[in-house]
């Protein structure tokens, strides 16, 4: 399965989980209720992104940025079109 890498901007401590919108030039915003403690916000963001893209959680892989709000993730290439819709 071929994959692509995208940048996401995680917003921990949000009132509700939401995937959509653009931060900066090309980062997809992922807001999660989990706090940024012990990687909980990162794991919640990856799960939320997988759900929004309609793929399994195992298909979304963190590549870089484990302790940063900006993260690089790898997703299936087939989900690329959905990412474009979420950025708008």
Per-residue pLDDT of 54-67, as tens digits, reads 999 999 999 999 99
Is pLDDT above 80 for 42? yes
Structural domain boundaries in the chain: 3-77
Handedness of CA 31, 34, 39, 43 (dihedral sign): negative
The predicted pLDDT at position 37 comes to 92
Eight-class DSSP state of 14:
-
Question: Is this prediction's pTM over 0.75?
Answer: yes
Question: Does residue 35 sit in helix, strand or coil?
Answer: coil
The strand pair at 27-31 and 3-11 is best described as parallel
Is pLDDT above 80 for 27? yes
The rounded distance, in Å, linking the Cα atoms of 79 and 56 is 11
| Superfamily grouping for domain 3-77 | YggU-like (3.30.1200.10)
> 75 falls in which pLDDT band (50, 70, 90)?
very high
């Amino acid at each position: 399965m071929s994959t692509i890498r995208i940048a996401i901007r995680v917003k921990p401590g949000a009132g509700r989980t939401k995937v959509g919108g653009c931060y900066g030039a090309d980062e997809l915003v992922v807001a999660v209720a989990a706090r940024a403690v012990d990687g909980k916000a990162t794991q919640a963001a990856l799960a939320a992104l997988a759900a929004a893209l309609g793929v399994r959680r195992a298909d979304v892989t963190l590549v870089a940025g484990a302790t940063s709000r900006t993260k690089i993730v790898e997703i299936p290439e087939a989900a690329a079109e959905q990412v474009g819709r979420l950025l708008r």
